[in-house]
Structure 1
Amino acid sequence: MKVTGLNTHPLKSGRAIAQTSVSVQMDGLAGDRRFMVVDADGQFITQRELQLLAQVEATHVSGGVHLRMNGHMITVPFDPARRIDVQVWGSDVNAAVAAEPVNATLSGWFGRPVKLVHMDDQAARAVGEEWAGQATPVGFADGFPVLITTTASLADLNVSLIAKGQEPVGMDRFRTNILIDNDEPWEEDLWESVEIGGIVFDLVKPCARCIMTTQDQVTGERIGGNPIQGLAEKRMSADRRVPGVLFGWNAVPRGEGTISLGNGMRVVKAREERWPMKIRA
């Protein structure tokens, strides 16, 4: 088994950026989900309610970020002294915020009042103590530093979708960080810890999927195959702690270093049992 995909998402819910090699830090892949759009009250906004975010390409620049969307472009610097409190899935973060003229421009792009914030060196967020054994640092990701998925599981999902008369979907729908090429569908359910490029990752919690998986990751439109329907047959969680359909695993790095496309992956520790699922006919 080996790594065949590496992706970062500089802007939460913005377009993925494919990488050939990336630094792994304790809070995830370098540059992943360090910027975020929030509403006037500081609540995070994602493609769930603002589908246009799928059209935004974000690129890190010195001191800030460059954004592009449908011919619009803007380079956004951040002053570490200019800060606001924001919320992402119940976590409070004191983040750097863009200047008001920038926020006014972005509000025009999206047709609603928004602000752009940055998880800079002064910002901190730690989550996942229940699952990871101790609170782990993370950027603006939903809950954990890294998401790991596999090619065989996507292939199996697409078999289900085709059987339903739907179009197959790409892995971009699942906004993964590390894609592993493997042969057995859903074998990641039995991986407790894996090693890639000399770094151990603990797979601590399966990832429940939402309506974003039904959205085209270029346009944001809800078109094509519906992964939620495809997963519902045999990937519906039977554990109330993680309700819904599951695809991929949230992971916590236990070291730092660099990983690259082509790196092998080995299982360091296996689980004794799979995650319980409700099997539907």
Structure 2
Amino acid sequence: MAHLVSEITGLRIYPIKSCRGISLPSAKLTRQGLELDRRWMFVDAKNKFVTIRSNPQMTLINTAIDHDAGELVITVRDDVSKQVRVPLWPSQTWLKEHTDILDVDVWEYITDAYSYKDPKIKATFTEFFGEDVSLVMKGPTQRVTTGNGSPERLGRTESVNFPDVLPVQIASDSSLAELNSRLKERGHNEITIERFRPNIIIKGGEPWSEDDWKTVRINGDSSLFTTLTGGNRNAMDIDVVARCARCQVPNVNPDTAEKNPKQPWDLLVSYRRVDEGIKFKPCFGMLCCPRNEGHLEVGMRFEVTATTQAHKYVKGF
């Protein structure tokens, strides 16, 4: 389905890796992903990243954006007495006074980060995790994408903050609906798209047709030259670089932090191990690298402009 035309039904950012995300009516698409997405994360005493894979309780850390104050608001278990605020866009002077710069480990990729020195921040989250942790913000050095997104394969150099692999994940409502129909047939509850932590959600066409996407365009029309009258100079073109191979994070209920021991993992494994490059994992969603930047809104036109049969997952980082 090389020319599927659909629309954006949801936009989501996850300011802190593995913590609760935020649904947005609009967002800025940057080359590094949606603005503020995975710009922060937690690291342990060895400065290694901590995620929901080992600690499902992280989904009980809520995030919000206070635009008036210019702050990220972090609340533990909805307890305002355990609320932490950090600036969204700190100055170099503020960073020098309030953070230490250190090296952190994300999937054995060493990159730099600003670690907050505020004792309240340290104490709040160390108590929550039950171990020594630090909240960090991505430092100034580029974390260059590897694997399917390596400069050699992509043909250009891209970078990310703290996502696992690539800047943007796109998911399809129609594929989720197909998965949910199978869950219901087996007596299980339906799940929400939030379980898969995508950035851009589209209405979709045939379930799983995204497996073959190669390039997509948002807010544009491939039948028109975007520089001519009737086109859209603000169209955003995105390379769909790889399928998103899943771990068991979608088994975690984001509202309760309870982890189902089997679903949807077992069901996905039964029919969604579709990528020759990573046969032991099921796939849901597509990992992407934007070619340009722009303003995204729910309801925008979404068009698949090219497809491929050559997707094969290549391990990165």
Specify the alignment match of 2:39 in structure 1.
34
Kindly name which structure, 1 or 2, has the bigger radius of gyration based on alpha carbons.
2
When normalised by structure 2's length, the TM-score is 0.81
Paired residues of 1:4 and 1:181 also in contact (CA < 8 A): yes
CA change 1:257–1:64 in 2 (3 A) is same
1:12 and 2:22 matched: no
CA change 1:236–1:272 in 2 (3 A) is closer
CA shift at 1:273, angstroms? 5.9
Paired residues of 1:95 and 1:117 also in contact (CA < 8 A): yes
CA change 1:5–1:225 in 2 (3 A) is farther
Paired residues of 1:52 and 1:220 also in contact (CA < 8 A): yes
CA change 1:205–1:76 in 2 (3 A) is same
User: Structure 2: which amino acid aligns with 1:164?
Assistant: R
User: Structure 2: which amino acid aligns with 1:80?
Assistant: L
1:89 and 2:96 matched: no
Which segment drifts farther, 210-219 or 221-230? 221-230
The equivalent position to 1:163 in structure 2, one of 180, 185, 198, is 185
Deviations 1:91-143, CA, capped at 9 Å, x for gaps: 211110011512122101221110000015x2421113065344421110010
CA shift at 1:90, angstroms? 2.0
When normalised by structure 1's length, the TM-score is 0.91
Structure 1's unaligned 5+ residue stretches are 277-281
C-alpha distance in structure 2 between counterparts of 1:92 and 1:83, whole Å: 13
C-alpha distance in structure 2 between counterparts of 1:224 and 1:272, whole Å: 34
C-alpha distance in structure 1 between counterparts of 2:53 and 2:180, whole Å: 23
Paired residues of 1:168 and 1:225 also in contact (CA < 8 A): no
Specify the alignment match of 1:59 in structure 2.
64
C-alpha distance in structure 2 between counterparts of 1:158 and 1:150, whole Å: 13
1:22 and 2:27 matched: yes
Deviations 1:126-172, CA, capped at 9 Å, x for gaps: 11306534442111001000000001110111122122222111101
CA change 1:259–1:225 in 2 (3 A) is farther
C-alpha distance in structure 1 between counterparts of 2:124 and 2:61, whole Å: 14
CA change 1:124–1:238 in 2 (3 A) is closer
Instruction: Output the aligned Cα RMSD.
Output: 2.1
Specify the alignment match of 1:230 in structure 2.
267
Specify the alignment match of 1:256 in structure 2.
293
C-alpha distance in structure 1 between counterparts of 2:19 and 2:153, whole Å: 27
Specify the alignment match of 2:95 in structure 1.
80
Equivalent residues, number: 275
Paired residues of 1:145 and 1:250 also in contact (CA < 8 A): yes
Equivalent pairs: percent with the same residue? 32
The equivalent position to 1:109 in structure 2, one of 112, 128, 132, is 128
Question: How do residues 211-226 of structure 1 correspond to structure 2 at under 5 angstroms?
Answer: 211-223=248-260, 226=263
CA shift at 1:223, angstroms? 3.7
Specify the alignment match of 1:98 in structure 2.
116
Paired residues of 2:239 and 2:291 also in contact (CA < 8 A): yes
CA change 1:258–1:168 in 2 (3 A) is same
CA shift at 1:63, angstroms? 7.2
1:153 and 2:172 matched: no
1:189 and 2:211 matched: yes
C-alpha distance in structure 1 between counterparts of 2:218 and 2:153, whole Å: 21
Specify the alignment match of 2:163 in structure 1.
141
Secondary structure of the residue aligned to 2:286 is strand
Secondary structure of the residue aligned to 1:161 is helix
Which segment drifts farther, 70-79 or 46-55? 70-79
Secondary structure of the residue aligned to 2:178 is helix
CA change 1:145–1:191 in 2 (3 A) is same
Which segment drifts farther, 259-268 or 57-66? 57-66
CA change 1:253–1:19 in 2 (3 A) is same
Specify the alignment match of 2:240 in structure 1.
203
C-alpha distance in structure 2 between counterparts of 1:16 and 1:126, whole Å: 24
1:46 and 2:29 matched: no
Paired residues of 1:208 and 1:243 also in contact (CA < 8 A): no
CA shift at 1:66, angstroms? 2.2
C-alpha distance in structure 1 between counterparts of 2:197 and 2:164, whole Å: 11
Specify the alignment match of 1:279 in structure 2.
none
CA change 1:35–1:137 in 2 (3 A) is same
C-alpha distance in structure 2 between counterparts of 1:203 and 1:89, whole Å: 22
Paired residues of 2:172 and 2:202 also in contact (CA < 8 A): yes
User: Structure 1: which amino acid aligns with 2:111?
Assistant: V
